[in-house]
Each structure stands twice: as structure tokens, then as C-alpha cells.
Amino acid sequence: MTGRYSFGLALPVLAVLAIAVAGQLLPGLLVPALAQSAPPAAAPPLTECDVPDRHTEIDFPLPQVTKAIAAKKLSVLVLGAGSSQLPGAGGAKNAYPARLQKALAEKLPGVEVTVATDVKPTRTAVEMLKSLRQSLTDAKPSLMVWQTATVDAMQSVDGDQFGQALAKGIKIARSVGADVIFMNPQYSPRTESMIALATYVEILRWVALQHEVPVFDRFNLMKSWADLGTFDLYSATKKLDMAERVHDCLGRLLADLVLESSKVHSPETGNGNEPGK
């Protein structure tokens, strides 16, 4: 298990002290050393989506995704409930599944990327299992992104039953050649005290660790956005444009997790590692 993101703040005061100490201890070497050293590369600016010190995602390899990218054809199935959708005529193209497809296509030039969805409101994990094998047969994905736990929490589904359903879903997906990524519930400060989401977030995390499944930690990501004021998730009347921005960030950051877990890096990162190397 590895933490994927860890952004730190520069500490110029410590740098100045280090130079001063070096000047006292090694005065003859200080100037040549400074003259020869190249200036440090500037860190890329944080975007609206980024969260400093975010290191909570569980990151395991995605071997089927790696093979699919090498074959220049990556198919993804998003299995989810209502929070994987957006309302309105343009909802489908602005929801995170479509933004995931766009982000992956941009980061994987020359690879055919398709993202299909099996998204229906008010389904528990157990209910999603009923049509899972058929959805996988139809989509033939290399990766299944499973967004779940919200409805289970709302209905107070037995924790053991929830965990067993997750484990069974992983087994079904892998039996047909698909990797799995879990996406946990979205965070809402207005319902935090009414729904025991944290319990189901932890069950999902534990099952993921047992079965080596990467987790896209949407819950804590959105909580950080709320704490930092990046997005106003407290508003009783959420604006559609803000929801679209949230989904755009989810799609882009989810694409980053897919690429990192498949050991593929986009050209702009400067890392040209090939899948599996």
C-alpha cells in the first residue's frame, strides 16, 4: 500500500540556515558548489482539484489495465448509484464517468479509451451484484470502477453483508478479466451527522486492503475541499455549475489513480515509464 499524493510546502528559512552553516564550516567550497548546482525545478502550481498533503488513497497494481494500455485499447465500466450522475440535458457529458474518459484519452494519446456506465439510483452493493455479471459481459472492461456504500449507509445495511458483497463483486470482476477500483461515498457536511458513512468507508477500505484493490478516496477528498473552502458543500441549494466542477475534478483525479496504479505516466509528467516496466 502506498500513498499516492504528498505535497509539501517549501521551507526557505531552513534552506537559508543550511547555507549559512555550510558557509561557516566549508567557506572555500560554498561558492563553487552554489555556482555548479542547477536551480531547483519549480513545483507545478496546485489546481482547483488538488489537495495539499493528500495521501490517503490505497494504491495497488492494475495488471489488466496495464495490458489494455499496451494493446492501445482501454475499456472501463463505472458501476454506481445516483452520485455518479448529474441532472439536466448535459448531465451525462459532465458527470465524472465522462470526465474520466476525457482525462484518460488526453493522458494516453494513441489509446482508444471508452467508459461505459451501469448507474442506477438507490442500489445497495448487494443489489448491484444482481446485474454485475451481465454488465461486465456487455461492456467487456479491463477496469471496473465500483462506486458504492452511500445507499448501504442510508439503509443501515449489515456491515458484514456489505463487506461480503464487495468481496463477491471483486471475485466476479476478476473472473472475467477486469481489475477493480473502489470509489467510496461522497462527503456532505449537511448529512454527516445523520448517516454513518464513516463506518462503511472503513469497511470498504478493509475489504480493499484484503483483496489488494485500489481505493479512490472521494469521501476524504471532498471533506478536504469543504474544509479548505475549495467548494461550498454546505450550501442547501447547490449550484449545478459547482457540481460539474466537482465531477470534473473527480474524473481527472480518478484518471491519475488509474495511470499511477497501472504504472503509466502522462507525457507532461516527464516520466516515460512503459506499462509493467
**Topology (CATH level 3) of domain 63-266:** Rossmann fold (3.40.50)
Reported confidence tier of residue 90, pLDDT bands at 50, 70, 90: low
Cell of 190: 449537511
Report pLDDT digits (tens) over 96-133. 999 999 999 999 999 999 999 999 999 999 999 999 99
pLDDT at 14 over 60: no
116 DSSP β-pair partners? 77
User: Does position 138 have pLDDT exceeding 70, yes or no?
Assistant: yes
Q: What is the pLDDT of residue 69?
A: 97
Residues 77-89 have a mean pLDDT of: 80
CA-CA distance, 178 to 72, in Å (whole number)? 16
The pLDDT of 34-52, averaged and rounded, is 54
Decide: residue 229, CB within 10 A, 0-12 exposed, 13-18 middle, 19+ buried.
Answer: exposed
Q: What is the pTM of this model?
A: 0.76
Question: pLDDT at residue 230 above 90?
Answer: no
Q: Mean pLDDT throughout 188-206? A: 87
Q: Could you tell me which residue, 16 or 203, shows the higher pLDDT?
A: 203
Is residue 266 predicted with pLDDT exceeding 50? no
Nearest to 34 by CA among 42, 44, 43, 26: 26
Other CB atoms within a 10 A radius of the CB of residue 36 amount to 7
Query: Average pLDDT, stretch 46-54?
Result: 70
Query: pLDDT: is 160 or 265 the higher one?
Result: 160
Average pLDDT of 50-79? Answer: 87
Q: How far is CA 192 from the centre of its chain?
A: 21
Residue 89's pLDDT is what? Answer: 63
**Section 76-98 average pLDDT:** 81
Region 147-164 average pLDDT: 96
Largest CA-CA distance found in the chain, in angstroms, rounded:
74
What mean pLDDT do residues 174-187 have?
95
Residue 87: pLDDT band with limits 50, 70, 90: low
Q: Residue 25 has which C-alpha cell? A: 564550516
